[in-house]
């Protein structure tokens, strides 16, 4: 298959590109490099050193003989996006090309506006480009479990059967997200659903849980193929951040009481889920939603698990409860459906000590690169700042 990966230089996009290339698919990457630009401008960096995209792709060719083509460009640049789609004629488009963190979107007005602009208008451009250039192409879009918030009823996969005053309908699941980032994904979902309805496009919205892990079968083949290891307060997802904190003797930073429960997924399962969505496309005109996570944990549970793992490695691990910088419930009901991907054949890699130990060992290897100043949360949901450093 011809597969276009938008955001194919990122934490998940890059290993996903390698995954599909390994399967023999023809992979084309578009990436704006905005994630790398953020690092350069703010003195952030991946814990594992990253090669530039050109070198990554070159190393992949060298190791496997497989070629991945790419273009540097932004989804907000419609002429570029449209030309790539027209020329490449992808059968599937995997869309990772979004500003992807809640804290980033809550830094200040400018970052909130950037998030809305990049994500919502970027995705609108993707929809128009598909419609105009390759209308039968299947859009596989990364959404987030955070779109649902934490309702007091079971979370279903995108839609819910509602009985109300004696009548019934199957309606979009009500959304109550808790950052401008999560909101932008809710907006995307509504826009994509509409495009499928009026233009007959087909799309799968993958509402992904929090991803952990830093290696896939492909990225571990060569250090030049490594993907990002973000441990900082803006981009670092909680479990990866805990691992980095543990190895340098920094307390595991739990926000508030730690009763916040979410869905989690191993990076290797992300690869498989996207693969399953791509190889089992939605029919034309259908917008479908899969919840993409394998287990649920509270932040407090994860801290205890990480602490135990760290101690096995001889580390002295403390847990510290910080004032919660976010506005969220710290103890709530949480039960979410995730059967669609399992039915398609997903075989989950559950969270085991070996996974955490391997992340921690990698963090140890590069512990000299950890900047402690990037660990504590500086972005406060209630009080936005004028700049990141203020």
67 is catalytic: no
Contact between 196 and 286 (Cβ < 8 Å) = yes
Cα 143 off chain centre by: 8
Question: Would you give the DSSP letter of residue 389?
Answer: T
Nearest to a copy of itself of 109, 361 (CB atom): 109
205-243: b (≥16 Cβ within 10 Å) or e:
bbbbbbbbbbbbebbebeebbbbbbbbbbbbbbbbbbbb
* Bridge pairing between strands 92-95 and 167-172: unpaired
Q: Which of 332, 250, 342, 352 is nearest to 294 (CA)?
A: 342
Task: Report if residue 191 touches a copy of itself, rule: CB under 8 A.
Answer: yes
Task: Report if residue 284 touches a copy of itself, rule: CB under 8 A.
Answer: no
- Between residue 21 and residue 80, which ones bind a copy of itself under the rule CB under 8 A? 78
Size of the site for a copy of itself (CB under 8 A): 49
Segment near a copy of itself (CB under 8 A), from 47-55, 121-129, 230-238, 363-371? Answer: 121-129
The residue behind tokens 């630009």 is 37
Q: Which of 235, 276, 230, 210 is nearest to 104 (CA)?
A: 235
Task: Report if residue 128 touches a copy of itself, rule: CB under 8 A.
Answer: yes
Beta-sheet strand order (sheet of 295-298): 210-212, 261-266, 295-298
Given 11, 104, 148, 181, the catalytic residue = 181
325-361: b (≥16 Cβ within 10 Å) or e:
bbebbbeeebebebebbeeeebebbebeeebbebbbe
- Between residue 138 and residue 167, which ones bind a copy of itself under the rule CB under 8 A? 151-154, 160, 162-165, 167
- Between residue 301 and residue 330, which ones bind a copy of itself under the rule CB under 8 A? 327
Chosen residue from 125, 218, 266, 294 binding a copy of itself by CB under 8 A: 125
Radius of gyration of the chain (CA): 20
Task: Report if residue 174 touches a copy of itself, rule: CB under 8 A.
Answer: yes
Task: Report if residue 199 touches a copy of itself, rule: CB under 8 A.
Answer: yes
237 is catalytic: no
Q: Which of 47, 50, 105 is nearest to 374 (CA)?
A: 47
Task: Report if residue 381 touches a copy of itself, rule: CB under 8 A.
Answer: yes
Nearest to a copy of itself of 131, 280 (CB atom): 131
Nearest to a copy of itself of 186, 234 (CB atom): 186
Task: Report if residue 175 touches a copy of itself, rule: CB under 8 A.
Answer: yes
Reading the block at residue 166, the tokens are: 């004696």
From CA 249, how far away is CA 219, in angstroms rounded? 28
Nearest to a copy of itself of 62, 154 (CB atom): 154
From CA 387, how far away is CA 390, in angstroms rounded? 5
CB of residue 291 to a copy of itself, shortest distance in Å:
15
163 is catalytic: no
CB of residue 256 to a copy of itself, shortest distance in Å:
14
Nearest to a copy of itself of 93, 346 (CB atom): 93
From CA 65, how far away is CA 355, in angstroms rounded? 30
Helix (H) or strand (E) holding 210: strand 210-212
Nearest to a copy of itself of 167, 316 (CB atom): 167
Given 11, 150, 185, 216, the catalytic residue = 185
Q: Which residues are catalytic?
A: 144, 181, 185
Binding site for a copy of itself (CB under 8 A): 78, 109, 112-113, 116-117, 120-121, 124-125, 128, 131, 151-154, 160, 162-165, 167-169, 171-180, 183, 186-187, 190-191, 193-194, 197-199, 327, 333, 381-382, 384
């Amino acid at each position: 298959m011809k597969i276009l990966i938008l955001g194919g230089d990122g934490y998940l996009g890059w290993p996903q590109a390698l995954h599909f290339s390994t399967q023999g698919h023809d992979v084309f990457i578009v990436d704006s490099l905005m994630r790398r630009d953020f690092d350069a401008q703010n003195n952030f960096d991946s814990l594992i050193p990253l090669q530039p995209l050109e070198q990554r792709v070159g190393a992949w060719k060298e190791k496997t003989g497989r070629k991945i083509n790419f273009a540097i460009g932004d989804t907000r640049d419609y002429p570029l996006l449209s030309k790539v789609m027209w020329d490449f004629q992808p059968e599937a488009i995997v869309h990772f090309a979004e500003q992807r963190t809640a804290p980033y979107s809550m830094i200040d007005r400018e970052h909130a506006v950037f998030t809305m602009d990049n994500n919502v208008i970027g995705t609108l451009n993707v929809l128009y480009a598909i419609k105009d250039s390759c209308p039968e192409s299947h859009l596989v879009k990364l959404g987030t479990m955070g779109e649902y918030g934490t309702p007091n009823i079971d979370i279903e996969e995108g839609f819910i059967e509602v009985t109300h005053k004696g009548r019934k309908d199957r309606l979009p699941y009500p959304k109550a997200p808790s950052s401008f980032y999560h909101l932008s994904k809710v907006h995307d979902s509504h826009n994509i659903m509409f495009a499928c309805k009026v233009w007959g496009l087909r799309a799968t919205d993958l509402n992904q849980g929090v991803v952990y892990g830093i290696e896939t079968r492909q990225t571990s083949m060569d250090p030049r193929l490594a993907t990002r290891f973000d441990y900082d307060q803006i981009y670092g997802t909680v479990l990866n951040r805990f691992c980095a904190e543990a190895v340098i003797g920094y307390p595991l930073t739990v926000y508030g009481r730690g009763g916040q429960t979410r869905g989690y997924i191993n990076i290797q399962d992300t690869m498989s889920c996207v693969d399953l969505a791509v190889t089992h496309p939605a029919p034309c005109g259908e917008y479908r939603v899969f919840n993409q996570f394998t287990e649920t944990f509270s932040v407090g549970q994860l801290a205890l698990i990480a602490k135990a793992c760290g101690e096995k490695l001889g580390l002295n691990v403390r847990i510290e409860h910080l004032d919660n910088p976010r506005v969220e419930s710290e103890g709530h009901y949480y039960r979410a459906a995730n059967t669609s991907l399992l039915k398609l054949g997903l075989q989950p890699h559950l969270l085991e000590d070996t996974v955490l130990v391997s992340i921690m060992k990698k963090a140890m290897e590069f512990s000299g690169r950890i900047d402690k100043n990037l660990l504590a949360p500086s972005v406060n949901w209630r009080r936005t700042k004028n700049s990141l450093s203020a």
